[in-house]
Amino acid sequence: MKPAADVLKDLARRSNVSIHSNSALVGGVEDAAAEDDAERKEKELDALRRKPSLQPVPASESGASISLAPWEVLHALARAISLSNRGAGRGLAEHWGALKYTQALTGDPHSFMKLSPEGRDTADYYKALQSSELGVGFAVAATERILRHRYPDHAVSIVPADTALRAGWALTSRDKGPRSGYRYRPHFFAEVWKPGEPSRVFPIAAKGNHSNAAVSHTQLASASAHVEAVHIGAWDQTPSLIHSTELPLDGPLTLHVLQTKGTGGWLRGSGPSRQNLDESLEEENHFPGIQPPVDGDEPRDKEPGFHVTSDRYEWFRHSLARTAAGGVTAFTGDGEATIPYLTTRQGRKRFTGIAHPATGSVHDASYTLLGTRFVGTDHVFRLNRTRVEAFSGVAADLFELLAGQQVEQYRSEIHSRRSSWPKETWDRRWKGPVSIHPDGTVLAIRLLIS
């Protein structure tokens, strides 16, 4: 059993993550999709509608590999699931689920990241859960890097797709409103934005496996159906990114990633007015379905999915910005600050009342990390019999803006400061790993100081 102090050092140690994106991958995914279509036809099931024209991500944007510390991956995962409503967490403690993987990954600057012995042991019992959740962490980290390289003057926000969509559509039987009955949806939206300008939105699908490249091909074929379920603007013009993280039990991990291009995804208002993001989001009840282009004079039946048409651009931009802000306040453990950012269908009630024992977070902690003061919540647990303290929060001045529902000012601040946050992964005064993200959030861990 590795001493907890050594585990913390491993969390802060960067190593390389291989990126696989080329024409051979496209071919493998197309073959997997064709095989799946044939199987569905034999079972008399409809073929899935998938994104057409998958393409590699240019090496100039993705590189052959990216350098990441395991703690940065866990921070990406924690931010992504802060509004996920999984299990008994009641929302306030969802992000602590990322801490399950504090010993799952290993590597060093001169090698490629892989599963640690503890990660391999866990995979024997929780293979699907571990690969799925770690796949989210790597996909989110890679998406942000690709899009920041593509749009250097913009900020990138990752928003859980189900939460954002629920502001306008009923997704499942527990939601009130006209339901779609369609189970294929993106996992996240990546909003690329700059204050005062139209933003662009990319549906994202993130999967993972503990097998091999052939399984990743199958996962990407499925992922292309997930991202196809949301159209923003014209038919089949919404750009997207799909990911499958291969985490083999006996070698380095590989992130397989493909993209689709298009002229859509832009949230351009139809007039000079621009909705104030400081105002509460109104829940709407859109009828599901994507409208294909007309065929001659005859309108075509709608396809299953969700269509953000031009009259919904301002509303959807509002939903994305408010949902992202609510994810940050939930990450700090402040339920009261989170409630105004969510509609009833998005899960506002999860942040009211008493949380289940040992799961609730409380916004009552403050630390200075890498020279910046953060406020948030902490969590104490045992790591290999040693008590450790984890802290999640956001820069104190940014929290004051979010608590006051000053979303416009918050976005202006994080856009202007997006490249100035510290890049270090260890704080000597804190004596542990620290990850600071451009959205102003921080995740830190250390041995508990008695």
What are the residue boundaries of the structural domains of the chain, listed by start?
Answer: 17-356
Q: What is the mean pLDDT of residues 173-194?
A: 86
Specify the pTM.
0.94
- What whole-number distance in Å separates Cα of residue 275 and Cα of residue 277? 6
Taking the C-alpha atoms of residue 35 and residue 218, their distance in angstroms, rounded to an integer, is 9
CA distances to 160, 199, 319, 420, 430 from 229, in Å: 15, 20, 18, 36, 45
Q: Which region among 149-153, 219-223, 330-334 has the lowest average model confidence (pLDDT)?
A: 330-334
Give the separation between CA 310 and CA 389, rounded to whole angstroms. Answer: 47
| Six token digits for residue 352 | 């009211």
Mean pLDDT of the chain: 92
Kindly report, residue by residue over 283-306, the tens digit of the pLDDT.
999 999 999 988 777 778 889 999
Give 92's pLDDT tier (boundaries 50, 70, 90).
low
Q: 299 Cβ partners below 8 Å, 6+ apart?
A: 291
- The answer on pLDDT for 93 being more than 90 is no
Interval 234-267: pLDDT, tens: 999 999 999 999 999 999 999 999 999 999 999 9
The burial class, CB within 10 Å (0-12 / 13-18 / 19+), for 438 is: middle
